[in-house]
Structure 1
Amino acid sequence: MSDITKLILDDHDSFRRRFAALDDANGVDELRAIWEPLAAFLDLHAVAEEEVFYPNLLRRGDDAEDETVDAVGDHNDIRDAVHEAERHPIDSDEWWKAVHDARMANSEHMAEEEDEALADFRRNASAELRDDLGRRFAEFKKAHPGARDLDTGDKDPQGYVNEVEAGFEGHSEGSLGIGSLKGQ
């Protein structure tokens, strides 16, 4: 089974284990061997969620706009800390601070996502859709190993939601295509 919510949870478990492995690492080489793949994985995971998961949550979720704005903002915090770590020598005080910031932002994001967005999506999306999206999520990650070919820069959270919802206009499934009318 490739339910996207389960794949995202699997990634979260991997993040927790990899951050914990940094605590036990000895020396720069061991830190680098753990951190560099972890940093790339954090970037890849965020982009994969923004490409596959969050557009579908916006179509179906009960509180999807707020959850998505929050998640993209969290992704920005994680990206910023990951990219800050890249500016410093591994095992320096500045590097550890940036890694800590990435860890804290990621931990907060995972908790919110697990309790809110993933639960919301499970309530509102069929098992078939979750499996289809899981395959797409896995294929996306496989097609972009190391995330080197992806734009891992920050996104405007509300702009992201507006852009995704604008894409719903004229689509038969796009009941959220009226999202731009909310609040009017």
Structure 2
Amino acid sequence: MADIIDLIFEDHHWFRQRFFYLDSATGEAELRAVWEPLAARLETHADAEEAIFYPALLKRGDSGDPKEETEDAIHDHNEIRDAVKAARAEAVGTPGWFAAVGEARKQNGQHMDEEEREGLPDFIKSATGQLRHDLAMQWLQFYYEHPAGRGVDETDKDPEAYIRDHD
């Protein structure tokens, strides 16, 4: 059976790898080849979590504080989106671009660490295997429907409004 937790961890691993690949990329073409798919996937991942994972955590999470975990995650997603937008506003390989990409890396790293310590363990304890499988199937469909980040919602969300709308 597929598992939403495994799919989120797969993305986290992929993100870490791609940020490391940026460290060894040289020249605009290599930087762009690593960054553009990474930026698109960061946005797709955030939108998928907001559409699939966090609504389920709000309903099922009971071993931690799902509202606080969700509020933190939405705030983190906004910071990541803002850094991706800032990088897109700069020429690839310039100091401004590197600063924005570095901010995306920092914000994403903090988000993944927090999510792996709090939200994911909470959900593992509180969700059935069947629910985790069902959400994994939704996740896979979401990625299929949004290849290379096309059609994802890149707008910042108000964390409190998000919780009200999904709780």
User: Structures share a fold, TM > 0.5?
Assistant: yes
How far the C-alpha of 1:2 sits from its partner, in A, is 1.5
CA-atom RMSD in angstroms: 0.7
Residue 36, structure 1, aligned to residue 36, structure 2 = yes
Q: Residue 13 of structure 2 corresponds to which residue in structure 1? A: 13
Structure 1: how far apart are the matches of 2:33 and 2:149?
Answer: 16
Counterpart residue identity of residue 158, structure 1: E
1:48-87 superposed matches below 5 A: 48-62=48-62, 63-87=65-89
Q: Secondary structure at the match of 2:152?
A: coil
Which residue pairs with 1:181 in the alignment?
Answer: none
Aligned to 1:103: 105
> Quick one: distance in 2 between partners of 1:103 and 1:163?
29
Offset at 1:148?
Answer: 2.6
Question: Which residue in the other structure is 1:168 paired with?
Answer: none
Amino acid at match of 1:66: E
Which blocks of at least 5 consecutive residues in structure 2 are unaligned? none
Partner of 2:144: 142
RCO comparison, higher one (Cα < 8 Å, 6+): 2
Kindly provide the CA deviation profile for residues 139-176 of structure 1, in whole angstroms up to 9, marking residues without a partner as x: 101111122312211000111000112xxxxxxxxxxx
Q: Which residue, 121, 128, 131 being the options, matches 1:129? A: 131
Alpha-carbon distance between aligned partners in 2 of 1:131 and 1:108, rounded to the nearest angstrom: 27
Per-residue deviation, residues 50-100 of structure 1 (Å, max 9, x unmatched): 000000000011211000000000000000000100000000000000000
Aligned counterparts of 1:158 and 1:61: Cα–Cα separation in 2: 17
Which residue in the other structure is 1:94 paired with?
96
Structure 1 gap ranges (5+) = 166-184
Which residue of 1 is the match for residue 22 of structure 2? 22
How many residue pairs match? The answer is: 165
- Alpha-carbon distance in 1 for matches of 2:153, 2:51: 12
- Paired-residue identity, %: 50
Work out the CA distance in 2 between the residues paired with 1:116 and 1:33.
33
Matched residue SS, 2:164: helix
When normalised by structure 2's length, the TM-score is 0.97
- Structure 1 stretches of 4+ with a deviation exceeding 3 A read none
Which is further off, 150-159 or 65-74? 150-159
Letter in 2 for 1:41: R
